[in-house]
Amino acid sequence: MTAFTLADLDRIVRERAAASPDESYTAKLVAGGPARPAKKLGEEAVEAAIAAVQGDREGLKAEAADVLYHLLVVLQAADVPLEAVMAELERRTAQSGIAEKASRRPA
């Protein structure tokens, strides 16, 4: 098992987002406004779903990495800390998924 964590990736994304867009792909995504990293996240999520449906384990592994990276870029661009997302996940795991979903207000 690797010692690399989502928190490590988040730190790298934050550092690279602060760099010049000429030197960092992450900074270039963030500089493009919220739509640019969100579009990339959507593309990668679709590619991950396709790999999963096709049973392409290697492709899914690579696409899942892209999804996690682009999600963290979207969070960075929106100024939503990973810790807030983790706190929300922790709150939700205090009850069953069925109960948590039932407690949400209808859209």
Set out the domains of the chain in order of their start, with CATH numbers: 6-80 (1.10.287.1080)
Tokens 């996940």, located at residue: 89
Task: State the Cα–Cα distance between residues 47 and 66, nearest whole angstrom.
Answer: 9
> What band does 76 get if pLDDT is binned at 50, 70 and 90?
very high
Query: Residue 107 has what pLDDT?
Result: 62
pLDDT digit string (tens) for 28-62? Answer: 999 999 999 999 999 999 999 999 999 999 999 99
**What's residue 101's pLDDT?**
75
Report DSSP letters for the chain, one per residue.
Answer: -----HHHHHHHHHHHHTS-TTT-HHHHHHHT-THHHHHHHHHHHHHHHHHHHTT-HHHHHHHHHHHHHHHHHHHHHTT--HHHHHHHHHHHTTS-HHHHHHHSPP-
The overall average pLDDT reported for the chain is 94
pLDDT at residue 100 in the model: 66
19: left (phi over 0), alpha (psi -120 to 50) or beta: beta
| pTM (two decimals) | 0.86
